[in-house]
Structure 1
Amino acid sequence: MSDRLIDVRVDGYSPHFVHAADRIWTETNCYVDLWVEVLHSLGHDPVPAAACAFSARFDGAQWTFLKFRPEDLLALYGIDVAEMNVWRRPVDHLEDNAAAGLLSTIEVDAFWLPDTEGTGYRESRSKTTIVPNLIDRDTGTLEYFHNSGYHVLTGEDFRGVFGLDEPVPTWPPYLEQVRLDAAQPQCDAFDTVVLRHLRMRAGSNPVRELGKRVLADIDPIRTGGMDVFHPWTFGVLRQCGATAELAADVSVYMDGRGYPGAAAAADGFRAVAEGAKSVQFRMARAARGRSVDPGDQLTAMADAWEDAMATVVRAAGVR
Structure 2
Amino acid sequence: MYGDGKVRLRSGAHALHGGNPVWSHTNRHIDLWVELLHGWELEPIAALPFTVTQDFSGDQFTSSNIPAGDMECLYGIVRDELSTYDRLESHVAAQTSCGNVVILEVDNFQLPQAGKAYRRQHARSSIAIDVLVPEATAVGYYHHDGYHTASGEDYEAIFRMPGDDAISRGAAFFPQAEVVRRRFTAQADAALVRASLGLLRAHLVRRPRENPICAFRTAFPDHLDQLMARGEPNFQAYAANVLRQLGANFELLGRYVRWLVMQGQVLPDTVAEACYTMASEAMVMQFRLMRAVISHKPDPCQDCLDQLEAAYKDTVPALAAHFGTDQP
TM-score by length of 1: 0.92
Once structures 1 and 2 are overlaid, which stretch shifts more, 85-94 or 241-250?
A: 85-94
1:43 aligns to what SS in structure 2?
A: coil
CA–CA separation in structure 1 for the residues paired with 2:323 and 2:7: 37
When residues 318 and 254 of structure 1 are mapped into structure 2, their CA distance, relative to the original with a 3 A threshold, is farther
- Which of 206, 217, 230 aligns to 1:211? It is 217
Equivalent residue for 2:106, pick from 96, 103, 108: 108
Counterpart in the other structure of 2:319: 312
Secondary structure of 1:134 counterpart: strand
CA distance in 2 between counterparts of 1:278 and 1:303 reads 16
* Per-residue deviation, residues 85-144 of structure 1 (Å, max 9, x unmatched): 2212222211110011111111011110121121x2111222111101222222222221
* Aligned counterpart, 2:130: 133
**Residue type of the alignment partner of 2:223:** D
Distance 1:262 1:100 in 2: 45
- Name which of structure 1's ranges 248-257 and 197-206 shifts more when overlaid on structure 2: 248-257
Measured at CA, do residues 248 and 171 of structure 1 come closer, stay the same or move farther in structure 2, by a change above 3 Å? same
Q: Mark the runs of 5 or more structure 1 residues left unpaired by the alignment.
A: none
- What is the one-letter code of the residue matched to 1:76? L
**How far apart are 1:178 and its partner, in Å?**
0.6
Match of 1:152 among 149, 153, 172: 149
Confirm whether residue 48 of structure 1 aligns to residue 62 of structure 2: no
- Relative to structure 2, which stretch is displaced further, 74-83 or 160-169? 160-169
| Cα contact 1:90–1:172 (8 A) shared by 2 | no
Per-residue deviation at 1:145?
A: 0.9
| Match runs of 1:135-284 below 5 Å | 135-164=132-161, 165=163, 166=167, 170-183=172-185, 185=187, 187=191, 188-257=194-263, 259-284=265-290
SS in 1 for 2:127: strand
CA distance in 1, matches of 2:2, 2:233: 41
Q: Which amino acid aligns with 2:301?
A: P
Which AA in structure 2 matches 1:130?
I
TM-superposition CA deviations, 1:180-217 (whole Å, max 9, x none):
13355494421221111111100111123223333331
SS in 2 for 1:182: coil
Report how many aligned residue pairs link the two structures.
316
Distance in 2 between the 1:297 and 1:137 partners? 52
Give 1:317 deviation, angstroms: 2.2
Deviation string 1:234-261 (CA, Å, 9 cap, x unpaired) is 1100000000001101212233456412
Give the stretch that moved more between structures: 55-64 or 140-149: 140-149
Contact 1:255 1:262 in 2 (8 A): no
Distance 1:220 1:302 in 2: 23
Q: Which residue of 2 aligns with 1:299?
A: 306
Other-structure match for 1:2: 2
- Matches of 2:171 and 2:300, distance apart in 1: 48
Q: 1:100 to 1:110 in 2, by over 3 A?
A: same
2:82 maps to a residue whose letter is M
Coordinate RMSD, CA, aligned: 2.0
Structure 2 length-normalised TM: 0.90
Sort the Cα spacing of 1:263 and 1:18 in 2 relative to 1 into closer, same or farther, 3 A: farther
Distance 1:40 1:268 in 2: 27
Alignment partner, residue 287 of structure 1: 293
**Residue 30 of structure 1 contacts residue 147 of structure 1 at CA under 8 Å; is this kept in 2?**
yes
Q: Determine helix, strand or coil for the equivalent of 2:42.
A: coil
1:293 Cα shift?
2.9
**Which of 94, 97, 112 is 2:95 aligned to?**
97
Structure 2 counterpart of 1:40, one-letter code: H
Structure 2: runs of 5+ lacking an equivalent: none
More moved, 167-176 vs 138-147: 167-176
